[in-house]
Chain A
């Protein structure tokens, strides 16, 4: 799908992956997250191959893919409680703050199945905020979001990058960042 691909990102960097449909953006993100295996080459985190120390890498990474990864019969709060609960100790305040940041507090206790596609997207992204992971891997994070939602995600990325976080974002849209360094990667 792609070859001769080599890059490195550091604190405050956002790799912006672009390219036409079917070029392999999602496949690249899945390889970077460790979910898919590449035919050759490797992905390293802090100098260590991610398949050699998956636990450490998984503690540092948060992936939001095409599917939200939410249980439809649980509420946004319950979904976040579980997601955080298997990663680290947490306070309810972490969850409340993340849901408030994504402006979904008003529907936080409703089953996810009754939320709109945009609200589900916001809840999925709230998990990344609450997890406080160093590396965000976001596949088309702007899908289903209105203009305000897109601005919100841009601001979230700004905050994440200015706090020393890293991000890999596959998006057809422009990525207007006010903080951090945008590293463009076009796959053709």
Chain B
């Protein structure tokens, strides 16, 4: 018997999670639909004035992305805790933090990446200038994985708690504020025709920081939840 490497194990976990997600795809679509609906509510509640909507666009896109990301978090580890598969992951020969990182990546591919891809449509609906679309997508591509990583720590801490959704939001939203602020700022600067690289670099730094620490913190939290 030959042991498998960590990359093979991670690939198999990603494959399994994608299979599970695509067998009840309606749940996977919820965050995307939520993102579009929340963004659509703002013009209805304020004004259809193009100038106002253009000013609001970066904030609306990022608030909707943050809320949508938080909505999707509850399912990140909860199902695995409930059906006992998390116990099997914790008892596998692979490092738990590495396996959780694979789960977070899958979660982002399903809940975060679609937001990056659909955001241009929403942004055009808010009359955001065309030259701001690419920086906004780049900011979302850097920011939404960070939101997933931060959220994973909260999801791991509340995985063993019944109806922990509200607690999860209270834990995650304050920690996600820097990402939202830098993301909205980058989009805003691009919309004004200025250089958005400053906030984009900060978003990249936040991504690398959370990428290094969040899986370890989530693994420790899962072990506490399983204890």
Contacts and interface: CB of A to CB of B under 8 A. Distances in A.
Contact of B83 (A35, A70, A78, A88): A70
Interface stretch (A11-19, A79-87, A97-105, A173-181): A79-87
B20 A73 contact: yes
Given A86-B12, A132-B1, A74 B20 contact: yes
Contact of A70 (B85, B89, B94, B95): B85
Interface in A43-72: 55-56, 58-59, 61-63, 65-72
B227 A72 contact: no
Interface stretch (B2-10, B39-47, B111-119): B2-10
A73 B88 CA distance: 17
A30 B90 CA distance: 12
A65 to B, nearest CB: 6
Interface string A140-154: 000000000000000
Contacts of B1: 88-89, 132
Contacts, number: 89
Given A58-B93, A70-B83, A85 B88 contact: no
A188 interface: no
B20 A63 contact: no
The SS class assigned to the A binding surface is loop
A139 to B, nearest CB: 11
B91 A78 contact: no
A78 B19 contact: yes
Contact of B99 (A83, A85, A86, A87): A86
Nearest to B10: A86
B163 interface: no
A68 B90 contact: no
A33 interface: yes
Nearest to B2: A89
A35 B226 contact: yes
A71 B13 contact: no
B227 A36 contact: yes
Interface residues of B, number: 30
Contact of B91 (A61, A70, A72): A61
Contacts of B12: 82, 85-86
B83 A69 contact: yes
Contact of A67 (B20, B23, B87): B87
B12 to A, nearest CB: 4
Interface string B70-111: 000000000000111101111111110001000000000000
Given A37-B227, A86-B12, A71 B92 contact: no
A62 B87 CA distance: 11
Given A85-B4, A87-B3, A73 B24 contact: yes
A88 B3 CA distance: 4
A67 B2 contact: no
A69 B85 contact: yes
Contact of A88 (B2, B23, B99): B2
A158 B13 CA distance: 33
Given A85-B4, A86-B94, A89-B2, A69 B16 contact: no
Interface string A97-129: 000000000000001000000000000000000
A34 interface: yes
A87 B84 contact: no
A132 B23 CA distance: 30
List of 10 A-B pairs having minimum Cβ-Cβ separation, nearest first: A67-B84, A69-B84, A85-B12, A86-B9, A59-B93, A73-B23, A89-B2, A69-B88, A82-B16, A58-B93
29 contacts: A35-B227, A37-B227, A55-B94, A58-B91, A63-B87, A66-B84, A67-B84, A68-B84, A69-B88, A70-B84, A71-B16, A71-B83, A73-B19, A74-B19, A74-B23, A78-B16, A82-B13, A82-B16, A83-B88, A85-B4, A86-B9, A86-B13, A86-B92, A86-B99, A87-B3, A87-B92, A88-B4, A89-B2, A89-B3
